Chains A and B, each alone.
Chain A
Amino acid sequence: MSALLEFDQVSQSYGDTRVVDAMSFQLADGEIGCLLGSSGCGKTTVLRCIAGFEPVESGEVRLAGEVLSRAGYARAAHERRIGMVFQDYALFPHLSVSANVGFGLRKLARAERERRVAELLELVGLATYGDAYPHELSGGQQQRVSLARALAPRPRLILLDEPFSSLDVDLRERLSREVRDILKREGMTAILVTHDQHEAFAMADKVGVMQGGRLLQWATPYALYHQPATRFVADFIGQGVFVPATIMAPNCVKLEIGEFCGLTPNGFTVGETVDVLLRPDDVQHDDASPLTARVESKVFRGSAFHYTLTLPSGQRVLAEVPSHHNHAIGEPIGIRLEMDHLIAFHRGA
Chain B
Amino acid sequence: MQSSVLRWRAVAALISLATVIPLAVILASIGSPDAAIWSHLLEYQLPGLLTNTLWLVLGVGAGVFVVGVPLAWLVSVYDFPGRRFFAWALMLPLAVPAYVMAFSQLGLFEFTGPIQTWLRDTWGDSSWVPSIRSTGGVVAVLTLAFYPYVYLLARNAFSTMGRRALEVGQSLGLSRSQGFWRVALPMARPWIIGGVTLALMETLADFGAVAILNYDTFTNAIYKAWFSFFSLDTAKQLASLLVTLVFVLVWLEQRARGRRAYGQTGRAAPLPRLPRLPLSGARAAGASLLAFAVFALAFVLPVGQLVWWAFSVWAEELNAELAAYVGRSLLLSLMAAALVAVVALALSYAARRDKRPATRLIARLATLGYAVPGTVLAVGVFVPVAWFDNWLIARFGAALPEGTTAVLKGTLVVMLLAYTARFLAVGHSALDAAMHRITPSQEEAARMLGYSGWRLAARLHLPLLTGGMLTAMLMVFVDVMKEMPITLMTRPFDWDTLAVRIFNLTAEGQWDRAALPSIAIVLAGLLPVILLSRQKEPA
Q: List residues of A whose CB falls within 8 A of some B CB.
A: 14, 51-53, 76-79, 81-84, 86-95, 103-104, 133-137, 139, 142-143, 149-150, 153, 159, 165-166
Contact = CB atoms under 8 A, between A and B. Distances in A.
B24 interface: no
Contacts of B172: 78, 83, 103-104, 149-150, 153
B18 to A, nearest CB: 34
A104 B169 CA distance: 8
Contacts of A149: 172
Nearest to A150: B171
Instruction: Please give me the 3 A-B residue pairs with the lowest Cβ-Cβ distance, nearest first.
Output: A104-B172, A88-B268, A84-B171
Given A94-B260, A133-B259, A135-B261, A88 B171 contact: no
A86 B265 CA distance: 12
Given A78-B174, A135-B265, A88 B271 contact: yes
B265 A81 contact: no
27 contacts: A53-B170, A76-B170, A77-B170, A77-B171, A78-B175, A78-B178, A79-B173, A82-B171, A86-B164, A86-B167, A88-B164, A88-B264, A88-B265, A88-B268, A88-B271, A92-B183, A93-B187, A94-B189, A94-B260, A95-B186, A103-B172, A135-B261, A135-B263, A139-B266, A143-B266, A165-B268, A166-B267
A51 B170 contact: yes
- B interface secondary structure, majority: loop
Interface of B: 164-165, 167-176, 178-179, 183, 186-187, 189, 259-269, 271, 275
B175 A87 contact: no
A88 B161 CA distance: 11
Given A135-B263, A153-B172, 14 more contacts: A52-B170, A53-B167, A78-B169, A78-B179, A87-B271, A94-B186, A95-B186, A104-B173, A104-B174, A133-B261, A135-B261, A135-B265, A142-B265, A166-B268
A90 B164 contact: yes
Contacts of A92: 168, 183, 186-187
Contacts of B275: 14
Nearest to B267: A166
Contact of B269 (A83, A94, A143, A166): A166
Contacts of B168: 84, 86, 90, 92
Contact of A89 (B167, B169, B179, B266): B266
A252 to B, nearest CB: 48
Given A51-B167, A77-B171, A165 B269 contact: yes
Contacts of B259: 133, 136
Contact of B263 (A52, A93, A95): A93
Nearest to A48: B167
B173 A142 contact: no
A156 to B, nearest CB: 12
B120 to A, nearest CB: 50
Nearest to A94: B260
A175 to B, nearest CB: 13
Contacts of B269: 165-166
Nearest to B172: A104
A139 B178 contact: no
Contacts of A14: 275
A14 B273 CA distance: 14
A331 B259 CA distance: 62
Contacts of A165: 268-269
Contacts of A82: 171
A140 to B, nearest CB: 10
B258 to A, nearest CB: 9
Contact of A93 (B164, B167, B262): B262
Contacts of A90: 164-165, 167-168
A139 B179 CA distance: 25
Contacts of A139: 266-267
Contact of B266 (A52, A79, A133, A166): A166
Nearest to B169: A78
Which of B169, B189, B266, B268 counts the most chain A CB atoms within 10 A?
B266
Nearest to B277: A53
A204 B165 CA distance: 28
A149 B191 CA distance: 25
A89 B268 contact: yes
Given A14-B275, A86-B164, A87-B268, A94 B262 contact: yes
B427 to A, nearest CB: 26
Nearest to B257: A94
A27 to B, nearest CB: 18
B414 to A, nearest CB: 44
Contacts of B174: 78, 104
Contacts of B167: 51, 53, 77, 84, 86, 90
Given A78-B175, A104-B172, A89 B271 contact: no
A48 to B, nearest CB: 8
Given A14-B275, A86-B168, A91 B173 contact: no
A243 to B, nearest CB: 37
B514 to A, nearest CB: 46
A143 B275 CA distance: 25
Contacts of A136: 259
B173 A81 contact: yes
Which of A52, A78, A83, A139 counts the most chain B CB atoms within 10 A?
A78
Nearest to B271: A88
B266 A51 contact: no
B267 A83 contact: no
Contacts of A166: 266-269
A153 B172 CA distance: 7
B268 to A, nearest CB: 3
Contact of B175 (A76, A83, A93): A76
